[in-house]
Structure 1
């Protein structure tokens, strides 16, 4: 909020170059916030995809969590007024890759009643396939 007040003052005073720098900074802050939300929902999405793959089964709860995480990622990434997305598919891929280890750690706690450590669960699944599946679900290309 204080950034908006500062922007207003810069514009009123005619300091356009400083106002543009502040707008650029605010844009980056907004994008960082969106990336953080996508990262958090990405952990949830990947965790359930890892559990499905490792246990070779699914539950209604996992499926609903997957659908909710996908919806929240899509919603967070969608530009409301201009259409399109805030982050590119490459940035989405990078964010999910970054979230993967956290998701794997969480999945290890939940899959097989916590019987296996993350390294063991990692050997049970195909990381690249799970990341591809997550991207496909988010982009609406799931089969």
Structure 2
């Protein structure tokens, strides 16, 4: 809201360069908010894909959650009629951004929670639960691309 008031003030005082900069900032903030929202659904999707891979089974609720996440991603990713917030060739970057949170979420459910006595680090290869990480890296990223391209 503060930015809107500042924008109004700039326009009233004919400070158009500053007003244009504020508009660009607002646009970037809105875009980042959309991407954060998309990534939250991506984390849910990835958690269930990891659980399926690790447990070798799928439940009805997992299927429903996967479908709901995919539908939410598809609905929210539209930017006009022909464009998207996350382009088809940029999904790998966002999957990598979400992998740590997804692995932690899956570990909480699959392994009855990870041992938080050990330091939590983004360098997943050094965690004692690295087997989940390797399953994730080797199998689930490919499945994520398949689901996201539906």
**TM-score normalised by length of structure 1:** 0.81
Aligned residue runs from structure 1 range 68-79, under 5 A: 68-79=68-79
Give the Å deviation of 1:98: 1.5
Please give the alpha-carbon distance, in whole angstroms, between the structure 1 residues aligned to 2:90 and 2:133: 23
RMSD: 2.4
Unaligned runs of 5+ in 2: 116-127
Aligned residue runs from structure 1 range 52-71, under 5 A: 52-71=52-71
Which structure shows the higher helix fraction? 1
The equivalent position to 1:129 in structure 2, one of 106, 117, 139, is 139
**TM-score normalised by length of structure 2:** 0.77
**1:77-111 deviations in whole A, cap 9, x for unaligned?**
211x4541012234432121121122112212212
**1:97-143 deviations in whole A, cap 9, x for unaligned?**
121122112212212555996323234x2525312322332232xxx
Runs of 4+ in structure 1 over 4 Å off = 112-117
The more displaced of 106-115 and 2-11 is: 106-115
Give the Å deviation of 1:42: 1.6
Distance 1:49 1:5, change over 3 A: same
Please give the alpha-carbon distance, in whole angstroms, between the structure 1 residues aligned to 2:10 and 2:114: 59
Asked if the contact 2:47/2:103 (under 8 Å) is kept, the reply is yes
Please give the alpha-carbon distance, in whole angstroms, between the structure 1 residues aligned to 2:6 and 2:91: 32
Asked if the contact 1:78/1:84 (under 8 Å) is kept, the reply is yes
Please give the alpha-carbon distance, in whole angstroms, between the structure 2 residues aligned to 1:115 and 1:93: 26
Aligned residues: 138
**1:18-44 deviations in whole A, cap 9, x for unaligned?**
111111111111121122212222211
Please give the alpha-carbon distance, in whole angstroms, between the structure 2 residues aligned to 1:45 and 1:113: 19
